[in-house]
Structure 1
Amino acid sequence: MLIVPEREIANLMTRAAAFDAVEQVFAAMAAGDAYNFPVVREAIGHEEALYGFKGGFDQAGLTLGLKAGGYWPHNLEKRDLINHQSTVFLFDPDTGKPSAMVGGNLLTALRTAAASSVSIKHLAPPDAKVIGMIGAGHQATFQLRAALEQRRFEKVIGWNYHPEMLPNIAKVAQEAGLPFEAVQLDGMVEADVIISITSAFAPSLMAGHVSPGTHIACMGTDTKGKQEVEAALLARSGVFTDEVAQAISLGEAQHAIAAGLISEGDINQLGAVINGTHPGRISPDQITLFDGTGVGLQDLAVAAAVVALAAAKGVAIKVDI
């Protein structure tokens, strides 16, 4: 078995490589060549942590495995560790033997950012100029850097529950040579693309905060009860997701379906747009919304790419197990 420590990931995986891996796995899922296993995600009753497992099998890429990890909300303040902690395990699909263990923290950040970035590529207005960020934590910086590569944005606006964190995304905007403006939530009407990346259990972005033609990437809701946007917003939008079954059980769609505002048939796979079997955006004024719940196949795709690079560069640790 090969081990790729967390410390090696930054020198191996790029945003471009993560984007390609995620785009390919979305396409494979929509084509029926890859599938995710049911997600296990539970509150463990200790440190207010959420812990779980996401896994799957990509028959096209012959990638089998799982990611184990979760969210420890007090890590940063108590231990100077990031709140999301995870590890990816890969297995030989021919024999079932473990083939690799990979540090999953940076990979999770990169694949989550890649997923919203893929949605922007395929669904956002071609002439999008203003990008809005809801959330300014660790993951938000990855989201913004990846998104800025998909359109010729001219301005970044942002809102966060804790305004003192907004300099995190202001710095990314500055690095890209773009102006940044802190706004109230109703100021999001200026945005052509909005990324929401919080861990909230109550909506902040309301239907009235979004202008016609906007693309929204909802990236924080991945657990029953979580919610970042008003359910009525999904009813106004063309809704796309990584996996429909997961969206209706633990994504933003859970709330819109419970309220009777949309049905399962109203939700489309982003991979179908990538494959050309769904048209995607159907008019300049259509609001499109990507319900990014985070599927195990994304983690496996980027982990497999990292293992191949680590083996080629001689930085993977080989152990017998």
Structure 2
Amino acid sequence: MIIVPEKACPELMTLDAAVEAVEAVFGAMARGDAYNFPVVREAIGHADALYGFKGGFDRAGLTLGVKAGGYWPHNLERYEGLGNHQSTVFLFDPDTGRPVAVVGGNYLTAARTAAASAVSIRHLARKDSKVLGMVGAGHQSAFQMRAAVQQRDFERVVGWNFHPEMLSRLADTAAELGLPFQAVELDQLGAESDVIITITSSSSPILKREHVRPGTHVACMGTDTKGKQEVEAELLGAAEVFTDEVAQSVSIGEAQHAVASGLIAEGDIAQIGAVVNGTHAGRSSAEAITLFDGTGVGLQDLAVAASVVRLAQAAGKAIEVEF
């Protein structure tokens, strides 16, 4: 069995590799070659923690496994250097059921989340997109920006956050990427942005329909639980909506509110994998608003974990143990 420890993942797993892995598994999902297992998520009654499992099987890539982990809200305050989000990916041989690998999942979770929005930008954003709008400035926002700028020739970044003092993360990341950054209000962000990424933990809509101009691509990446909401339901009603997994989108994703309000139906939502495969045309026109509801599925975690195992083996950095 191979072990890839958490500390090895950032140097092995580039965002480019994550995008390629996630794009491939989205395509497999849309073809029916890969499927996710039901998600388990529970409050464990200790340390205020939420713990759960996301798993699945990719028949095309012969990847079987599960990500186990969750959210321990007091880690940062109690343990130096230990993040609140903790996860580990376990991979198994689909032919025998034997364990194949154990992989640190914290960095990979951030990478695969950024990769999902990047795939949506690659396939849905207008080719002439020049301005990237960022709503949210938490830890994940830097990953999102780095992955996004690899998909289009952005000339600048504008950003907004509930807590303006956190916008330095966006400014620093933009500077690292050689792009100018400006902190703006939401109406200006919507008026200027060709692509908007929302990455918050909001439970009430931040981005409104009136903020978003025709031709914009919006990647909603923060809503992954019942009750969360980053954008106004009316925005989905006005957009061409895509997602990673439709069933999850309407139950715990951004689409849950638009469907409940009758603004869209489940059948109005397309899988991004169908666009990847060429069985869906994607954006219908330069004036259309496209929206990707990235809910986060277990197959994304398995895809990047399998990729980092291969990279570790190729680099001679895989730790092999008898099991």
TM-score, length basis structure 1: 0.97
Amino acid at match of 1:222: D
Amino acid at match of 1:170: A
Give the equivalent residue in structure 2 for 1:241.
243
Which ranges in structure 1 are unaligned for 5 or more consecutive residues? none
**How far, CA to CA, are the matches of 2:180 and 2:76 in structure 1?**
29
Query: 1:17-36 CA deviation, whole Å, 9 max, x = no partner?
Result: 11110111111111111111
Q: 1:260 aligns with which of 250, 262, 273?
A: 262
Q: After alignment, is 37-46 or 237-246 more displaced?
A: 37-46
Give the equivalent residue in structure 1 for 2:218.
216
SS at match of 1:293: coil
**How far, CA to CA, are the matches of 2:169 and 2:48 in structure 1?**
25
Give the equivalent residue in structure 1 for 2:49.
49
Q: Are the structure 2 counterparts of residues 196 and 49 from structure 1 closer, same or farther at C-alpha, using a change threshold of 3 Å? A: farther
**How far, CA to CA, are the matches of 2:138 and 2:185 in structure 1?**
17
**How far, CA to CA, are the matches of 1:75 and 1:187 in structure 2?**
37
Give the equivalent residue in structure 2 for 1:203.
205
Q: Are the structure 2 counterparts of residues 210 and 44 from structure 1 closer, same or farther at C-alpha, using a change threshold of 3 Å? A: farther
Give the equivalent residue in structure 2 for 1:59.
59
SS at match of 2:68: strand
**How far, CA to CA, are the matches of 2:239 and 2:57 in structure 1?**
31
**How far, CA to CA, are the matches of 1:140 and 1:75 in structure 2?**
20
**How far, CA to CA, are the matches of 2:315 and 2:128 in structure 1?**
40
Q: How does 1:1-321 map to 2 (within 5 A)?
A: 1-79=1-79, 80-189=81-190, 190-321=192-323
RMSD: 1.3
Query: Share of identical aligned residues, percent?
Result: 71
Q: Are the structure 2 counterparts of residues 74 and 159 from structure 1 closer, same or farther at C-alpha, using a change threshold of 3 Å? A: farther
**How far, CA to CA, are the matches of 2:77 and 2:100 in structure 1?**
35
TM-score, length basis structure 2: 0.96
**How far, CA to CA, are the matches of 1:38 and 1:168 in structure 2?**
35
Query: 1:35-60 CA deviation, whole Å, 9 max, x = no partner?
Result: 11111123334444332111100001
**How far, CA to CA, are the matches of 2:28 and 2:130 in structure 1?**
31
Q: Are the structure 2 counterparts of residues 172 and 289 from structure 1 closer, same or farther at C-alpha, using a change threshold of 3 Å? A: same
1:183 Cα deviation after fit? 1.2
User: Does the 8 Å CA contact 1:134/1:160 hold for their aligned counterparts?
Assistant: yes
Query: 1:123-157 CA deviation, whole Å, 9 max, x = no partner?
Result: 00111111110111111000000101111111111
What is the number of equivalent residue pairs in this alignment?
A: 321
**How far, CA to CA, are the matches of 2:206 and 2:44 in structure 1?**
27
